[in-house]
Structure 1
Amino acid sequence: MKPQRHAEEASPVRLDRTIGFLYGIFMQVGMIIGSGIFISPSGVLRHAGSVGWALLVWLACGFLSLLGALSYAELGTTIRQSGSHYIYLRETLGTLPAFLFLWVEFIIVRPSIMAVVFLSMGQYSLEALYSPCAVPRVAVKLLAMVSISFVVFVNTWSSTLSLRVQSCLSVSKLAALASIIGVGVAHVARGRTEYFENAFDTADSRPGSLPLAFYSGMFAYSGWASLNAVTEEVKRPERTIPVVICASLAIVTVTYLLANAAYCAVLTPSQILGSAAVAQTFAENTLGNAFSTIVPLCVALSCLGGSMGSYFTSPRLFMVASRQRHWPSIFSMIHVRRRTPCPAMLLLLPLLLCLMWLGDVHALINYCSGPQWFFVGLVSLGLVYQRVRRPDLPRPFKVPLAVPALFSCCCLGIVACSVYSSPANLGMGALITLSGVPVYAACLTERGRSAWPERVRRRAEWITQELQLLMEVVPQEETNY
């Protein structure tokens, strides 16, 4: 059923290609650089054991992330559909791995990560108002819930508006980091380099801790696959995706290296490891207490920018899954005037609001890392398999086969490190992932069609039609792939 449309809405309903080079750069950079670089960039230093090795790990993680991003760039220019991990798993390794990724993404990964980000944003936004008193937890939750409602509204109202907001927030985030880097450069220029002496002394490190440093570093670079989630909305994806990926990761790698070098130039390793908010300690040591109050605002803006981008890309995954009959059909539909995936945008909102009100969702975060890196490794492995199985498939952008093979080994190695560092969390993540197998078996046939009885399907179709009328949405009438 199609809601009645006015004459000015007669053009085919589809997602417009609105993401060019600059919007792509700002979206990628904004999603990769999170609040962690302001609050706790100490995980790498703690496990690397020295300043020199920590900076080398940051550089190596940037290079490894580039290998993964280049692998995804080949997949994004070969498979022209949005959906990133999900559609790549489906096209290379089959429907079951794709559905399991979708399942774990919906159950724990996306809701828990976004809930923590919004709660962090609420906490740091209110700190300046309540200082020196503690911020009431209820106030944090209410502000977080208002913020997610704002993010959903902007992304549902207009894709272009969302991209503009993301770009502004990315610029503000880079400006804050540039000020930190500038202060660090000035500090070094005055000859204050004593904290770089014996930079590679690992007397305090524990054997076998270096892989955990890579684990922390790779987590800080996550977000480089965001453009692949919206491939159908990228202008000239065969050119834009590879260029944006390389440029954004170069910007992020240089920024991470210089920001961490600035921290290490001003603060001792013990100060960095013992600080609850490294950027705030940095500001207090260099600019005084008056400027340190700006840091919570920078953290809040960083959280808002990352969540705006995350909520722009994540619903596209469920939209594509619905189009492939792995999710209810209503979530594949697009608003007839706004040209946004309105039902998919609203899918996560109730779950997010519940998690924010509960507040304590950090335990769920611990279960996310293992499944995340496992599926990223499977995607890279799927590229290797596809190259062998379909060597004649047109590939506008092609990387050496060693690139996805090496990156897949790194991702699976990260999962293996979790067996050593947090076996309980990895086991729980695996159980949550495998809980999708009976759902897949009960609800879907091998071809992705519903396995429910005809009577249930007819009832579901009636509900879908009523929701179409309520939300003014229709199936995509013209494809971009």
Structure 2
Amino acid sequence: MVRKPAVATLSKGGCLPSAGPPRARPGRAPAAAVLRKKITLLRGVSIIIGTVIGGGIFIAPTGVLRNTGSVGLALAVWTGCGLLSLFGGSGALSYAELGTSIKKSGGHYTYILEVFGPLLAFVRVWVELLIIRPAATAVISLAFGRYILEPFFVHCDIPELAIKLMTAVGITAVMVLNSMSVSWSARLQIGLTVCKLTAILFIIIPGVIQLAKGHTEHFKDPFSGRDASIMGLPLAFYYGMYSYAGWFYLNFLTEEVENPERTIPLAICISMGIVTVGYVLTNVAYFSTLSVHDLLLSKAVAVTFAERLLGNFSLAVPIFVALSCFGSMNGGVFAVSRLFYVASREGHLPEILSMIHIRKHTPLPAVIVLHPLTIIMLFSGDLDSLLNFLSFARWLFIGLAVAGLIYLRYKRPDMHRPFKVPLFIPAVFSFTCLFMVALSLYSNPFSTGVGFVIALTGVPAYYLFVVWDEKPRWFRRASDRVTRTLQIILEVVPEEDSQKL
């Protein structure tokens, strides 16, 4: 993967090899195939909010409540996860400093590479590419497929095959959109973010009206109920942080952000403030109508709430939830494809993934590589188990990335830092992440152990694919031939070669 194979020179107007660079149109210079700075503050906010608010807030409250045991502690976990995300999360204030100091796309992969070296960085992207991202995309896509079909199956269960087929259509639509245009993907994300916030308001406003009418019985003795074991807190933390996950995605796009020194910190603070307030008020609204027992029995809390309170209008809620899930799918693919693009540029993934379409200026191969992997995950089995196996790995590497900020403060004190946070913020966050990882290893050793083994497979893969440079000649020739063929089919070129076009 480190070795650069011979690449074909593509003509500007097609996919056939050319003898030289194409001739420019009269009076107009040809555009270089590079990723352009098209992410404004509004688009940055929409990417973070649009990715964070997915299906989690409409489904995960049951998981948080089950592992805390009381209304008060559940609300405390939701608030704590929001504050932890804002004041320490890898996409929040700590990542705001990292993103303005290290002006490269790639998010925590780039920061781990900068601080801890290539081995850990490779393991991070290895696990992300093979398991975490395909499984996470499949899970949120399944929620999209289920909710988009909900209004058509009011009086009966939705066939599982129908859900998976609709899910596959949604996944394909997202991949095609992100392959065709950066601008249209960003514009759609803004519209879907509006839909998400509208869906949350449809829950908060009726809930506030209920509280104003005096329906506060579920808030009496908020910390009473089933005693919560400390062993349940890591799982409650994972459910809560899963719903807040996405604050790190703008850092995957640093090189495409306009004025990143200003835009990244502002977008993060605005987005996470809105999300935290919205999530806490949404949970308060749920408890204004649903008891602890009702919430624990519900498979889709938002739908149960709407059926109780909104009558016939409740059919609109699944549509809004489906659009919310689609926005998370779009934002996740948009951002994570840049992680694969950067990892390929560093020699950790096949070179084809760091190439750009010569006309559309999108990292086409890095986008579509997720499609077959996600479809395989979709039809392969228990996705929740896979996510449980790898949850510890995700938070381990996020904690390490934020700990790297502290290391850089002392190792490279003269680094230009347009935005700085007090050191106690990354220290508290990284300690919390590592503590929760250790606690989950103790409370759920099987799932965590399986995840640890899956992550460890990245170590031999690193030495086999990256370090070992004396590969057989037949392997190198086959690799070069595959790369050239894919270049011609996809009409993509390396970024450095695009400057000649």
1:2 to 4, 9, 20: 9
Tell me the percent identity: 48
* 8 A contact 1:15–1:340 mirrored in 2: yes
The answer to whether the aligner puts 1:221 opposite 2:240 as a matched pair is no
In 1, the alpha carbon distance for the partners of 2:342 and 2:317 equals 38
* 8 A contact 1:325–1:450 mirrored in 2: no
For 1:435, the equivalent position in structure 2 comes to 457
1:39 to 40, 46, 59: 59
For 2:475, the equivalent position in structure 1 comes to 456
2:300 to 271, 277, 298: 277
For 1:85, the equivalent position in structure 2 comes to 108
Q: How does 1:34-433 map to 2 (within 5 A)?
A: 34-66=54-86, 67-68=88-89, 69-201=92-224, 204-206=227-229, 208-288=231-311, 290-433=312-455
1:208: how far off? 4.9
Q: Matched residue of 1:134: which SS?
A: coil
In 2, the alpha carbon distance for the partners of 1:63 and 1:111 equals 28
For 2:20, the equivalent position in structure 1 comes to none
Deviations 1:99-144 (A, max 9, x none): 0001111111001111122122112222221332222222222111
**Letter in structure 2 aligned against 1:351:** L
* 8 A contact 2:145–2:167 mirrored in 1: yes
Q: Which moved more, 1:113-122 or 1:126-135?
A: 126-135
**Letter in structure 1 aligned against 2:43:** Y
In 1, the alpha carbon distance for the partners of 2:362 and 2:291 equals 49
Counterparts in 2 of 1:64 and 1:451: CA distance versus 1, 3 Å? farther
Q: Which moved more, 1:450-459 or 1:270-279?
A: 450-459
**Letter in structure 2 aligned against 1:389:** K
* 8 A contact 1:26–1:166 mirrored in 2: yes
For 1:28, the equivalent position in structure 2 comes to 48
With the length of structure 1 as denominator, give the TM-score of the two structures. 0.94
2:466 to 424, 444, 454: 444
Aligned residues: 476
1:471: how far off? 1.2
In 2, the alpha carbon distance for the partners of 1:312 and 1:354 equals 20
1:359: how far off? 4.8
* 8 A contact 1:50–1:202 mirrored in 2: yes
**Letter in structure 2 aligned against 1:36:** G
**Letter in structure 1 aligned against 2:462:** Y
* 8 A contact 1:443–1:451 mirrored in 2: no
1:452: how far off? 2.4
In 2, the alpha carbon distance for the partners of 1:287 and 1:116 equals 27
1:200: how far off? 3.0
1:376: how far off? 0.4
* 8 A contact 1:315–1:345 mirrored in 2: yes
For 2:32, the equivalent position in structure 1 comes to 12
1:180: how far off? 0.8
With the length of structure 2 as denominator, give the TM-score of the two structures. 0.91
For 2:16, the equivalent position in structure 1 comes to none
Q: Matched residue of 1:205: which SS?
A: coil
1:421: how far off? 3.3
**Letter in structure 2 aligned against 1:55:** L
**Letter in structure 1 aligned against 2:216:** T
**Letter in structure 2 aligned against 1:126:** L
In 1, the alpha carbon distance for the partners of 2:386 and 2:61 equals 21
In 2, the alpha carbon distance for the partners of 1:98 and 1:475 equals 22
Deviations 1:160-182 (A, max 9, x none): 10111111111111101111100
In 2, the alpha carbon distance for the partners of 1:450 and 1:334 equals 26
* 8 A contact 2:56–2:242 mirrored in 1: no
In 2, the alpha carbon distance for the partners of 1:241 and 1:58 equals 24
**Letter in structure 1 aligned against 2:12:** R
Counterparts in 2 of 1:191 and 1:388: CA distance versus 1, 3 Å? same
